[in-house]
Chain A
Amino acid sequence: MARKRRTLLKAVVGVPIVMLIVVLAAYAWLQYAPRAVPAGQPPLEKLQAGSLDAVKDAFNAGVGEVRLLVMLSPT
């Protein structure tokens, strides 16, 4: 009887923990997995703390050329 209770307790505690680990791992993978861009392009850059400096730098690096700015949703 006591053994069955221990097994049940392990399941009640263990299953949610495993599920939580799986969810956290999936979330981490979604957020931090490397994102490969096509050949010749600089790596995908995440804008830090809402700063637009990186975008402005890329834009201004093209002075002398026609520029396009495109804003898209990933899905």
Chain B
Amino acid sequence: MRGASALDEVLAKFPEAPLKVVVVWEPVVRTDIAPPFKSALARIDDPRVSQFWDPDLALSRDIVRAVNDGPARYGFAEALPEEFIVWDVVAVFGEVDRWSDDLPVPVYYGGPVYSVTDELQEALGAALARAGFTGH
């Protein structure tokens, strides 16, 4: 939950930026027995956000599959364990990236989200600048 609040704080620093934010909630720890409640969803209070509930960890599995098909493409030295769960992570993508089969390669990724806010803000600013957006 700290990650959600941290993300909201970073987004608030770019209130006018042309951003699309996709948040995927997934059951990872034992207490994740249900979709996120309003209290969790409300932590990311920004109209540029779309929120999803992924009870089957489908996105995590798909990312592990994509990475293991070509670890070097995503900057990994070796394949991830099949049971690896991708979570508490944020990734930034350029404005031209399109997602068809495999997740596009992000220009930045990091986690846990609450601990990478400075990096995220920097990466986001750089990506926005490359996209031609100069204001905040």
Cross-chain contact B92 with A36 (CB below 8 angstroms): no
Task: Report Cα–Cα, A56/B89, bound state, in Å.
Answer: 17
Contact present for B58 and A64 (CB under 8 Å): no
Name the A residues within 8 Å of B44 (CB-CB).
38
Interface string of B66-105 (1 = CB under 8 A from A): 0000000000000000000011111111111111100100
CA distance A50 to B45 in the complex (A): 26
Name the contact of B33 in the complex, choosing from A30, A36, A54, A69 (C-beta under 8 A). A30
Q: How many residues of A contact B (CB 8 A)?
A: 39
**In the complex, which residues of chain B have a beta carbon less than 8 angstroms from the beta carbon of A42?**
50
Least distance between B122 CB and chain A CB atoms (Å): 13
As a 0/1 sequence over residues 34 to 64 of chain A, the CB contacts with chain B under 8 angstroms (1 = contact) are 0111111110111101111011101111111
A41 touches B51 (CB 8 A): yes
A44 near B95 with CB under 8 A, answer no
Bound-complex Cα distance A75 to B26 (A): 10
Contacts A41-B51, A47-B52 given; does A59 touch B20 at CB 8 Å: yes
**A74 within 8 A of partner (CB):** yes
By the criterion CB–CB under 8 Å, are A71 and B89 in contact? yes
What is the CB-to-nearest-CB distance from A46 to chain B, in angstroms, rounded to a whole number? 5
Q: Establish whether residues B41 and A55, one from each chain, have CB atoms under 8 Å apart when the complex forms.
A: no
Residues of chain B contacted by A65 (CB below 8 angstroms): 18-20, 95, 131
| 9 A-B pairs with the lowest CB-CB distances in the bound complex, closest first | A62-B20, A40-B47, A74-B36, A50-B58, A30-B34, A38-B45, A73-B28, A67-B93, A75-B31
